[in-house]
C-alpha cells in the first residue's frame, strides 16, 4: 500500500500508558513502529488524523499478547538451557511471564463476559488448549 504512518501514532499509544515507559524502550517502540507500522495499514482512514488505521486496532490484542508471551517463555527456556548458571534470573523472568499470562487470561474472560470486541479468540491458556495460531499481525511485526 506504500503507507508510512498509521493511526494511532506511537506517541499517542505511549502517552496513553498508565505507567512510565523507560525512554530507551520508547525509542525502540518508536523505531519499530516507524519501520514496520506501515505494512499494517488498512484501507480505513481515521477521520481526525487522516491516517490509515493500523490493523492492530482491529485485532484481538489479548491473543496477540499471549502469542508474544509464548515466544518469550520459549526464549527464556532456551536461555536457561544455554546458561544454566543463570537459573535464578531465568526463574524470575518465567515467573513474571506466567503472571502476565494469568492477567491476560483474566482480561480475556472479562472482555468476553462484558461483550467487548476483542476479536474472535481467547488466549489458548484461557481455553486450556495450549495451542497458538502463529499469526503476527500485531501492527509492528
Digit-coded pLDDT (tens) for 24-71 = 999 999 999 999 988 999 999 999 999 999 999 999 999 999 999 999
Q: What are the extents of the domains in the chain?
A: 6-58, 61-127
| Confidence grade of residue 74 (pLDDT, cut at 50, 70, 90) | very high
Element housing 44 (H / E): strand 41-45
Write the pLDDT tens digit of every residue in 90-140.
999 999 999 999 999 998 888 776 655 545 444 555 444 333 334 445 566
Give the three-class secondary structure for 122.
coil
Please report the sign of the dihedral spanned by the C-alpha atoms of residue 124, residue 129, residue 131, residue 135.
negative
Q: Given this model, what pLDDT does residue 124 score?
A: 52
Q: Given this model, what pLDDT does residue 4 score?
A: 79
Q: DSSP secondary-structure letter at 19?
A: S
Identify the residue with better confidence: 78 or 127. 78
Q: Which residue has the cell 481515521?
A: 46
Cα separation, 78 vs 57, in Å, equals: 32
Amino acid at each position: 500500500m506504500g503507507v508510512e504512518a498509521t493511526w494511532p501514532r506511537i506517541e499517542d499509544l505511549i502517552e496513553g500508558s498508565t505507567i512510565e515507559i523507560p525512554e530507551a524502550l520508547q525509542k525502540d517502540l518508536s523505531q519499530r513502529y516507524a519501520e514496520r507500522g506501515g505494512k499494517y495499514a488498512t484501507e480505513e482512514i481515521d477521520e481526525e488524523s487522516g491516517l490509515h488505521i493500523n490493523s492492530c486496532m482491529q485485532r484481538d490484542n489479548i491473543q496477540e499478547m499471549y502469542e508474544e508471551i509464548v515466544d518469550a517463555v520459549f526464549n527464556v527456556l532456551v536461555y536457561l538451557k544455554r546458561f544454566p548458571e543463570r537459573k535464578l534470573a531465568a526463574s524470575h523472568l518465567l515467573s513474571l511471564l506466567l503472571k502476565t499470562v494469568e492477567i491476560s487470561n483474566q482480561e480475556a474472560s472479562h472482555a468476553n463476559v462484558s461483550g467487548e470486541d476483542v476479536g474472535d479468540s481467547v488466549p489458548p491458556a484461557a481455553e486450556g488448549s495450549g495451542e497458538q495460531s502463529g499469526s503476527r499481525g500485531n501492527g509492528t511485526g
